[in-house]
Chain A
Amino acid sequence: MELFLYTALFSPLVGSLFAALFGASKKTKMAGIIPSALLGLSLISSFVLLVSVLSSGETVHVEMMTWMATGDLYIPFGFVVDQVSVTMMMVVTLVSTVVHVYAIGYMDHDKGFNRFFSYLSAFVFSMMVLVMSDNFAGLFIGWEGVGLCSWLLIGFWYHKESATWAANEAFIMNRIADLGMLIGIFLVYWNTGTLQYEQAFAIMPSLEIDVLTWMGIFLFIGAMGKSAQFPLHTWLADAMEGPTPVSALIHAATMVTAGVYLVVRANPLYDLIPSVGLFIASLGAFVALFAASMALVNRDMKRVIAYSTLSQLGYMFAAAGLGAYWVALFHLMAHAFFKALLFLGAGNVMHAMHDELDPFKMGGLNKVMKGTFVMMTIASVALAGIFPLAGFFSKDLILEVAFVENHYIIYSVLLFTAGLTAFYSFRLVALIFHGEERYKLFGIHPHEAYKFMLVAMSPLLLLAIIAGSFKMTYFEMVTKLLPATEYHVHSSLTYWIMTIGTQLFVAFAIVYAYKKYTSRDIKVPDGTSKLENCFCYKLLINQYYIPRFYEDYIVKSYRELSEIFWTKIDQKIVDATVDGIANIFYQTGERTRVMQSGNLSTMLKWMVAGTVTLLSLAVAFGLAARYSGEIKIFLSGLGV
């Protein structure tokens, strides 16, 4: 089994290095095919591990070598394949393989083809390290590694100012959260004496609740950055500057879910501090609603899907915060499938529309892009949570959790958000694929993507449809590690009312969106309509003015403060003081030079002055020596 573990972990790295060999040379198909094949190998190994964990329930734990060891600290490169990590491995390798194959077509005309695959495979490797590590430090390696790859890939088209800006924003925001994570790790180390999950979690129940609370808070701050939770959420929408396969893999299916994974992994800790858990759940519910509201009006196809991702991450945190870790992980898995599918579909549309992102400029594309149309519609149905697709099983479960745990506010927020989700998803589908063919106004001739790209997407399509049927197998597997709470609404009547009510509500939202956005009156908005001038619309389209607030009050003041520190404090105060002191000596020398003028009478005068000084000093010391006893007594009286 160890062999499979190492194959699963390291073949993406080999693929990345292979592609990097061609980094500076001309585009070659090999640089895309070999990493994809290696990822396939990784997928197969993960699958073998999954089967073995499923059948025997045994986990694989290896320690490759020592990383850091000093004092009492001992950190190995250790990897574990257990029920949780094998789930994550399957999600990561599966979506990555699909995205890699897809990207061979998508990046076909790009000059940086080889470089792209090098970065993308490096990302998969980092993500595998993140989910497979058996300790917090290893997790942190992966954590920062995915951050680096995200930076490289968001800023992949580095000649674009907006792309590099977004890349830096993402990296720095994540760094802010990483500080929290690092402090969390320090707390774990100094209180438990180890960073290995197993030992640390075993000691935690014996610690004071205060310490545990701080631990939970700081680790969660780390999770907030990667999973883009409020107030560190702005980077995710801007990260859509990267190529679309990147958005599908990193900013929808895998990296952004790392925060959820952390909370799930640290479940023994969060179980001990339910108050922090409640905070996480509340924040999750808030973010779900908050992000969904911004998706309602946005006119950038990819940003809408990004906000939808954000909103779904909110759902996951809501579940994890309420202690339903397996539910959170299940939604993470289902979401990865249909959201990646949605993004890849959006990539096809973008290609067809020559990188046009405004859905208002599309319309009627279902005639030319049948395959993409079907896939995106099914993905949206799954996202909306309609029976029997994947989203129904995972999202409805979260609503039930909130209901059963008696958190009715969270429940109603999440229920309402489910309606919004359905609305904005189908607003997008309707605008892109139905109604008038508005793109003709812009002289675009759309075409369907390559066949093999659609074939590559099909596994995701399949999983978006059937993932729900794995629920029981999955439940039995992960609950060997995670708390096995089943969430059942007690009375079956309530259950049916809830389920059917939710379905009807969501269906209504879908129908409403269709009706509203397939009508023939849809025009490309030009900023004159009544809706566009109302306050709510402006608030939402400007993302609640939060990015502008950050820019005006934080970024700008940081820049100004830096400028002041440099020009005013460093140069005018600190350095000027040093030069001033030096100047005193210099000036003293300059001034006293006149003493040595060579003029006999002046020099005689100074000689006399010198003699007088010396003599008076002699007298003073003589007296001091005579009365030394008295002086000592006097001084001791003063306390010297």
Chain B
Amino acid sequence: MLDHILSILIFFPALAAVLGFAVNKNSIRSYGVAVATIEFVLALWLWFAFDSSVSGMQFMEHIPLVKAFGINYIVGVDGISLFIIILAAFFTMIGIASLGETKDIKNMIVTLLFLQMTMVGVFAALDAIVFYLFWELSLVPMLYIIGAWGGPLRIYASVKFFLYTFTGSLVMLVGMLFMAYFYYQATGEWSFAILDWYRLILPETFQKWLFVAFFFGFAIKVPMFPFHTWLPYAHGQAPTIGSVILAAILLKMGTYAFIRFSLPLFPDASVYFMYPIAVLAIIMIIYTAMVAYAQKDIKQVVAYSSVSHMGVIILGIFALNVEGITGSIFLMIAHGVVSGALFFLVGVIYDRRHTKYMSEFGGLASVMPRYATIFGIMLMASVGLPLTINFVGEFLSLLGFYKQSHTLTLLAGMAIIVGAIYMLSAYKKMFFGVVTKDENRNLPDVNKRELVALIPLTIITIWLGIYPKVLLEPINTSVEAVVGLMHEKSLTQEAKSRIPNLTKDAEVITNSAENTVENSTENSAEEAH
């Protein structure tokens, strides 16, 4: 079973979703929870069976689809994708378990399970075409979630979300086709397998063009400034569960793809575009944080804060060294947990008051103390306080990029200031002061169903903040392999110097060790004379 665990992880939820149509409406909730829990347990088993000392792909499966064009169903995981897959399974589970009163709950659960298939598929796929299929398929359930359960502007928001990301993906698809064509020219064989592509060394100009093509697909997904405007609409209109999954998992597809495709395939182009992208990332960090500060709607604050944090992730990726990339992958998990939790928390108050305007609240700390406490912890995680999960990622990402540029890191470091400004002022508006609105006087505190989602997230936030090693170790092993590959493949002098050579140190050490051994033998020989 372990040999096919990835395929099971991908297709089990889809199969369950199809069967879900036949399930009685009254028992669909428990059915959904059961399926998602099994999936999560399987994901944990994957982690348990995962060998964190291996840097390459594990649990690989290989089924040819279209032999003539080298399209295969290839899946596998390494330290980079493992934890995002687990996170996806985890969020689907607690998302379904804590689902509130929803109309057409059956359709919702079926959609979520289908969405889960696409999410796991994206992160496990090792063939560009399979990757692309899951990547695009993931749009459909989200389109449906926003369009069917969303707010008043849901049609506009969902169509915008779909068309915008779809357009970017098409450019990426063209890039993939060219990549495969170059592979064909170089080897005489077609292949869409990513691991095959890793072996291909492209001239610098080709790299740049392809980098740009892929960039469009990824940047819109992340979303990077100035391609971010679909996100506030999507979050603003989506139901709580939609926002949670979107922020926690779907956005990570973009940043993950940067590490999976852009860096190892185009190392020289990555170095070439490092500064422009870093500048975009800094605009994302500071500008969207300021926009978040201007918001009146708490959900928009969290939505824009997402964009701001994604800027730090992008920066960490383009640090192009082990510290930065490991940090950015860790931050993907961290941001998933924290922003997911924040969207859950916004959902809690929205369910009670049916408004998201902060001016409608005030003084909630005395009415809902438990809610205020959990929100407070997540707030502190979001501003990156040490010993919370976010700090580890942010610290490592910025630390990594500091190697590349001092000034830009100083600017990007503003994240810790502007982040505190919008989060603290939002918290103050909602929770501090005296209760002014009568509707707020008797609000019930968080209930058991909501705690099902919030307590595990709180525990993870603190646990991984104190002991990030469990994640960092496997991530680090795989990232070292990526960085090593990039250094080896890079052509220009600039890239060679920017991307650290990991093997060099080891060689020097062994050389010096040999020298000392020789010296000591000589010495002893002399002494013998």
Which residues on A sit within 8 Å (CB–CB) of B163? 582
Residues of A in contact, count (CB < 8 Å): 53
A178 near B322 with CB under 8 A, answer: no
Q: In the assembled complex, which residues on chain B have CB atoms less than 8 Å from the CB atom of A144?
A: 385-386, 391
Q: Which residues of B contact A179 (CB under 8 A)?
A: 410, 413-414, 416-417
Do A558 and B402 have beta carbons less than 8 Å apart? no
Question: How far does the alpha carbon of A137 sit from the alpha carbon of B373 in the complex, in Å?
Answer: 26
- Across-interface contacts of B352 in A (CB, < 8 A): none
Q: Which 8 A-B pairs have the closest CB atoms?
A: A71-B322, A575-B229, A562-B294, A566-B294, A186-B402, A164-B432, A141-B386, A562-B290
- Residues B369 and A24 in contact, CB atoms below 8 Å apart: yes
Q: Is the interface of A mostly helix, strand, loop or mixed?
A: helix
Q: Closest approach, in angstroms, between the C-beta of B327 and any C-beta of chain A?
A: 7
Please tell me if the beta carbons of B369 and A566 are within 8 angstroms of each other in the complex: no
Judge whether A570 is part of the interface by a CB distance below 8 angstroms. Answer: yes
Contact between chains at B476 and A182 (CB < 8 Å) = no
Tell me if A189 counts as interface (CB < 8 A to partner B).
yes
For A179, give the chain B residue with the smallest CB separation. Answer: B413
Cα distance, A585 to B159, chains bound together (Å) = 14
The answer to whether B290 and A561 have CB atoms under 8 Å apart is yes
Assess whether B365 is interfacial by the CB under 8 Å rule: yes
Q: Is the interface of B mostly helix, strand, loop or mixed?
A: helix
Which residue of the partner chain, among A71, A161, A563, contacts B476 with CB atoms under 8 Å?
A71
Min Cβ gap A121→B in Å is: 16
The verdict on B314 contacting chain A, using a C-beta distance below 8 Å, is: no
Complex Cα gap A458–B477 (Å): 58
Q: How far is the CA of A68 from the CA of B290 in the complex (A)?
A: 31
Comparing B99-107, B126-134, B254-262, B420-428, the segment that makes contact with chain A is: B420-428
CB pair A155–B432 under 8 Å, yes or no, is yes
Which chain B residues border A24 with CB–CB below 8 Å? 369-370
25 cross-chain CB contacts under 8 A: A65-B467, A67-B468, A67-B469, A68-B472, A69-B473, A70-B322, A70-B327, A70-B472, A72-B323, A145-B386, A148-B385, A158-B432, A164-B433, A172-B424, A179-B414, A186-B402, A562-B293, A563-B294, A565-B290, A565-B294, A569-B287, A574-B225, A574-B228, A578-B230, A582-B160
A339-B182 Cα distance, complex, nearest whole Å: 74
Contacts of B468 in A (CB 8 A): 67-68
Q: How many B residues, CB 8 Å from partner?
A: 64
Which B residues are CB-close (under 8 A) to A178?
Answer: 416
What's the Cα separation between A563 and B386 when bound, in Å?
Answer: 31
Closest A residue to B502 using CB positions: A71
Any B CB within 8 A of the CB of A23: yes
Q: Are A70 and B326 in contact (CB under 8 A)?
A: yes
Which B positions have Cβ atoms within 8 angstroms of A? Answer: 160, 163-164, 225-226, 228-230, 287, 290-291, 293-295, 321-323, 326-327, 363, 365-366, 369-370, 373, 380, 383, 385-387, 391-392, 395-396, 398-399, 402-403, 406, 409-410, 413-414, 416-417, 420-421, 424-425, 428, 431-434, 466-469, 472-473, 475-476, 479-480
Residues of A within 8 A of B369 (CB): 23-24
Chain B's nearest CB lies how many Å from the CB of A281?
A: 26
State whether A558 touches B399 (Cβ < 8 A).
no
Q: Report the minimal beta-carbon distance from B372 to chain A, rounded to whole angstroms.
A: 9
Q: A140 — which chain B residues lie within 8 A by C-beta?
A: 386
Flag if B428 contacts A175 (CB, 8 Å): no
| A499 proximal to B (CB < 8 A) | no
Residues in A neighbouring B363, C-beta threshold 8 A: 159
Q: Are A172 and B417 in contact (CB under 8 A)?
A: yes
Alpha-carbon separation in the docked complex, A185 to B409 (Å): 12
Q: How far is the CA of A101 from the CA of B469 in the complex (A)?
A: 39
Q: Looking at the complex, which one of B323, B410, B434, B467 makes contact with A71 (CB distance below 8 Å)? A: B323
Given contacts A70-B476, A562-B290, contact A574 B229 (CB under 8 A): yes
Q: Is B164 a contact partner of A578 (Cβ separation < 8 A)? A: yes
Given A70-B327, A159-B363, A570-B291, answer yes or no on A578-B472 (Cβ-Cβ < 8 Å). no
A176 at the interface (CB under 8 A from B): yes
B413, A73: Cβ atoms closer than 8 Å: no
Cβ of A60 within 8 Å of any chain B Cβ, yes or no, is no
Quick check: B392 and A68 within 8 Å, CB to CB? yes
A343 to B399, CA, bound (A): 41
* Interface presence of A491 (CB below 8 A): no
Q: Smallest Cβ distance from A129 to chain B, in angstroms?
A: 9
Q: Flag if A183 contacts B326 (CB, 8 Å).
A: no
Q: Assess whether B295 is in contact with A566, with CB atoms less than 8 Å apart.
A: yes
Q: Assess the B428–A182 pair: CB atoms within 8 A.
A: no
A190 within 8 A of B: yes
Q: Is the pair B290, A171 in contact by a Cβ cutoff of 8 Å?
A: no
Bound state CA distance, A71 and B395, in angstroms? 14
Say whether B385 contacts A183, CB under 8 Å.
no
Distance A578 CA – B157 CA, assembled complex (angstroms): 13
Which single residue of chain A is at the shortest CB-CB distance from B373?
A23
**Contact of A597 with B by CB under 8 A:** no
**With a CB–CB cut-off of 8 A, which chain B residues contact A565?**
287, 290-291, 294
**Which residues of A lie under 8 Å from residue B230 when comparing CB positions?**
578
Min C-beta distance of B446 to chain A, whole Å: 12
* A56 smallest CB distance to B (angstroms): 33
Tell me which of A141, A161, A187, A575 contacts B387 (CB under 8 A): A141
Q: If A68-B396, A562-B291 touch, does A159 touch B366 (CB 8 Å cutoff)?
A: yes
Q: How close is A577's CB to chain B, nearest CB, in angstroms? A: 8
